[in-house]
């Protein structure tokens, strides 16, 4: 009878041992590499028909942040409300894979005469100088009228001036004060517009450019330190773009981001800092070590009856630039033993 009593205990020990081994099994899921920062430069640079929040930052208005999985409908520049009806390329020397620095010239193009005149008009101080002159005239007149008001007050004490003259002069002072406030506000607004125009011009033509002698050449500059990721096949000297088009894409390749959609049951076992091993399908037999840097708390969109998936992100150093965007990989995370 004693051997029979030992059987349940042995079975229980075996179950616990198998459970412990199962909890220590690695978790594997599919991932894909992405650039951490990527910009697509699209023409026309500014449009009036469909303004977008991602259209530049004021000092680099020709830079668009690359949207997520969004198709671009081909429209003419005129239909999009652009002041430039065509973009004639003068030079585009960079190729895919070339390293670029922030503010480096990527493309030069012929600036249309009407656009050049519009920029020169924006950089003119004529309106600002006119407002400053008008403000100086009002200040001078206000000084004289106030002095006259003081004289009238003294004459009223001697009863040598009519009270209505004193009141009319005081109203004139009030009117001049309102006019001065209006001109001062207009002058400040014109000054801000002029300063912004200077910043935009220097972002396009360079920081050392003489804004009063603008060349008839436009420059497209890199918004970030990185590499050329893609270029339009038609981006060659002499080409004239008349419809909406993507010109060039630049971004960073080191480090790369690995993103994966993980099932809700597996995602709740992962946490930031867990070590992971990556094997890319394009580089079989080679392993890369990294750690999890983000586990989303909000599930990706799905139907109510479908299981939820959460985005998991890993950061992978890429000093040799061997990992390109879009490369798939198997991500293996060795989960710690729950019994430990």
CATH number of the domain within which 76 lies: 2.40.50.100
Residue 229 lies in a domain: yes
Does residue 258 share a domain with residue 236? Answer: no
Residue 309 lies in a domain: yes
Residue 7 lies in a domain: no
DSSP classification of residue 325: T
Residue 232 lies in a domain: yes
Does residue 100 share a domain with residue 244? Answer: yes
Q: How far apart are CA 66 and CA 154, in angstroms?
A: 72
Q: How far apart are CA 216 and CA 110, in angstroms?
A: 6
Residue 9 lies in a domain: no
Domain-terminating residue out of 145, 177, 205: 205
- What is the band of 333 on the pLDDT scale with cuts at 50, 70, 90? very high
Three-state SS for 66? Answer: coil
Flag the least confident range among 40-44, 222-226, 265-269: 40-44
Residue 154 lies in a domain: yes
Average pLDDT over residues 41-68: 48
Does residue 60 share a domain with residue 185? Answer: no
Domain count along the chain: 3
CB of 332 closer than 8 Å to CB of 288: no
pLDDT at 132: 94
Residue 225 lies in a domain: yes
pLDDT at 191: 94
User: At 310, which CATH number?
Assistant: 2.40.30.170
Residue 156 lies in a domain: yes
Residue with tokens 């419809």: 243
Give residue 322's domain range: 22-35+253-334
- What is the band of 73 on the pLDDT scale with cuts at 50, 70, 90? low
Indicate left, alpha or beta for 156 from its phi (over 0: left) and psi (-120 to 50: alpha).
alpha
CB of 56 closer than 8 Å to CB of 63: yes
Does residue 92 share a domain with residue 227? Answer: yes
């Amino acid at each position: 009878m004693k051997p029979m009593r030992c059987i349940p205990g042995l079975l229980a020990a075996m179950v616990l041992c198998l459970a412990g081994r199962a909890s220590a099994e690695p978790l594997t899921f599919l991932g894909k590499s992405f650039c951490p920062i990527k910009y697509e430069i699209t023409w026309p640079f500014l449009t009036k028909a469909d303004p977008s929040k991602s259209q530049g930052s004021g000092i680099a208005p020709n830079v668009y942040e690359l949207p997520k999985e969004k198709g671009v409908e081909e429209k003419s520049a005129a239909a999009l409300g652009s002041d430039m009806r065509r973009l004639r390329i003068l030079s585009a020397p960079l190729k895919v894979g070339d390293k670029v620095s922030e503010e480096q010239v990527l493309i030069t193009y012929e600036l249309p005469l009407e656009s050049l005149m519009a920029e020169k008009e924006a950089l003119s101080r004529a309106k600002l100088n006119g407002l400053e002159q008008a403000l100086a005239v009002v200040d001078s007149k206000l000084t004289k009228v106030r002095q006259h008001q003081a004289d009238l007050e003294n004459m009223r004490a001697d009863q040598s001036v009519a009270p209505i003259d004193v009141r009319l002069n005081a109203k004139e002072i009030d009117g001049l004060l309102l006019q001065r406030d209006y001109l001062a506000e207009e002058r400040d607004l014109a000054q801000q517009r002029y300063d912004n125009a200077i910043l935009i011009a220097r972002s396009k033509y360079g920081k050392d450019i003489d804004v009063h002698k603008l060349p008839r050449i436009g420059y497209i500059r890199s918004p970030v330190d990185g590499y050329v990721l893609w270029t339009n096949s038609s981006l060659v000297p002499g080409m004239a773009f008349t419809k909406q088009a993507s010109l060039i894409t630049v971004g960073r390749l080191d480090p790369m981001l690995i993103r994966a959609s993980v099932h809700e049951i597996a995602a709740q076992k992962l946490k930031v800092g867990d070590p992971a091993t990556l094997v890319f399908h394009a580089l079989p037999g080679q392993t890369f070590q990294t750690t999890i840097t983000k586990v989303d708390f909000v599930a990706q969109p799905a139907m109510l009856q479908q299981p939820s998936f959460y985005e998991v992100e890993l950061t992978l150093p890429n000093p040799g630039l061997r990992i390109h965007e879009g490369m798939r990989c198997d991500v293996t995370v060795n989960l710690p033993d729950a019994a430990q």
